Amino acid sequence: MIDLSRFPRVNLCHQPTPLEPLPRLSEQLGGPRIWIKRDDCTGLATGGNKTRKLEFLIGEALAQNAEIVVTQGAVQSNHVRQTAAAACRHGLACHALLEHRVPNTTDAYEASGNVFLDHLFGCTLEYRPAGLDMNAEAQQVVDRMNAEGRRAYMIPGGGSNETGALGYVVCAQELVAQAAERDMRIDWIVTATGSTGTHAGLVAGLYAAGADIPVMGVSVRQPRDRQVAAVHRLAESTARLLGAPGLPVEAIRVDDGYIGEGYGIPAPSTIEAIRTAARTDAILLDPVYSGKGFAGLLGLARAGFFGPDDNVVFLHTGGAVALFAYENAFQ
Ligand SMILES: *Cc1c(COP(=O)(O)O)cnc(C)c1O
């Protein structure tokens, strides 16, 4: 067990999240055996992967006596919605900068799904055009608030720094324990990878725990080389935080074949993956992240990448609230 007790932490997550088989999908594919780790069921405001990161980020914000957290994301950011919810739970204010990162959006995209919930949680919002360094923009807002005597705490986009990645160190430990309980070998973990904290935390946690399970990150935004470098940077610094020596870059695996036209634009394979997961095992994926991640899983399985008896765990990172903002993509 990795000792995380020195890091400030609050309780936000229903954990452990279930590890469940997907029998109908596994049968339809004719192998491998597909499992799903239900981080869409973390229990905070419709769930998702940011909940685990926020246990440590909000913990640190409270330890620093903050009164407001500031973060950023795309307009339909699941991270902003979960941060706004976590702030409510701990009596903090929340302010978010939303980037118009996705082109040609609908009215539903601008107002429904996560944006509707941001407002419901009382999060204050301001907007930015596409292409800025959004963490730098948010840091400027934090600096201005602090200069005005407010105690603001910066949470980077996706909650992806070493502190947030600790949430996925916890998840790595959970998966290792769940596999041991079932006397089951996990051959692969597959998940969507974006701002990198999930992928990096998982790899760092597995590495620090001495568990040799490969993680395939399905990129939702960046080409492979850039995503590998970004995930490696954070995985290595997170592993160091845990007292492990540097982490080899070979431990970072990324497939960039399922991005389609870009971030936030579902590809035909994304829509097919969302329909397949819904109609085989009644799993709700999202059009920006988990739909692309699952499309990667299906593509790899159909191409014979996995062994027929492998146990492949899809880490479901949540996001289904955004389906309501993307209804037009299913027509
Ligand atoms: C943020 C997010 C991801 C990506 O996780 P990162 O840690 O940013 O790489 C995947 N799925 C969903 C639903 C998300 O909201």
> What CATH number is given to the structural domain containing 57?
3.40.50.1100
Q: How far is the CA of 6 from the centre of ligand 1 (A)?
A: 26
Residue 102 belongs to what domain range? 50-159
Q: How far is the CA of 280 from the centre of ligand 1 (A)?
A: 23
pLDDT per residue over 138-164, tens digit each? Answer: 999 999 999 999 999 999 999 999 999
Nearest ligand 1 atom to alpha carbon 195: 8
pLDDT per residue over 202-220, tens digit each? Answer: 999 999 999 999 999 999 9
Contact indicator for 10, 290 with CB cutoff of 8 Å? no
**Helix%, strand%, coil% for the chain, nearest 5:** 45, 15, 35
Q: How confident is the model at residue 2 (pLDDT cuts 50, 70, 90)?
A: confident
43 and 77 within one domain: no
pLDDT per residue over 236-280, tens digit each? Answer: 999 999 999 889 999 999 999 999 999 999 999 999 999 999 999
pTM confidence score: 0.98
CA distance linking residue 156 with residue 149, whole number of Å: 21
- The pLDDT of residue 14 is 98
Q: What mean pLDDT value characterizes the chain?
A: 97
Q: How confident is the model at residue 314 (pLDDT cuts 50, 70, 90)?
A: very high
Q: Which of 159, 174, 208 is the last residue of a domain?
A: 159
Tokens representing 74 are 């795309």
196 lines ligand 1 (CB under 6 A): yes
- Among all chains, which residue has been given the structure tokens 């980077």? 156
Whether the per-residue pLDDT at 330 is higher than 90: the answer is yes
79 lines ligand 1 (CB under 6 A): yes
Catalytic amino acids? 77
CA distance linking residue 126 with residue 136, whole number of Å: 15
Q: Which parts of the chain are beta strand (E)?
A: 19-21, 33-38, 68-74, 93-99, 124-128, 152-154, 188-193, 215-219, 253-255, 311-316
Instruction: Let me know if residue 195 belongs to a domain.
Output: yes
Q: What is the dihedral of CA 146, 151, 155, 161, to 10 degrees?
A: 90
Q: Which of 159, 182, 211 is the last residue of a domain?
A: 159
Q: How confident is the model at residue 52 (pLDDT cuts 50, 70, 90)?
A: very high
For atom 1 of ligand 1, which residue has the closest CA?
158
Q: How far is the CA of 289 from the centre of ligand 1 (A)?
A: 6
Instruction: Let me know if residue 13 belongs to a domain.
Output: no
Tally the residues of the chain.
331
- The pLDDT of residue 281 is 95
274 and 264 within one domain: yes
197 lines ligand 1 (CB under 6 A): yes
- The pLDDT of residue 280 is 97
- The pLDDT of residue 245 is 86
Instruction: Let me know if residue 11 belongs to a domain.
Output: no
- The pLDDT of residue 221 is 97
101 lines ligand 1 (CB under 6 A): no
Q: How far is the CA of 326 from the centre of ligand 1 (A)?
A: 17
Total number of domains in the chain: 2
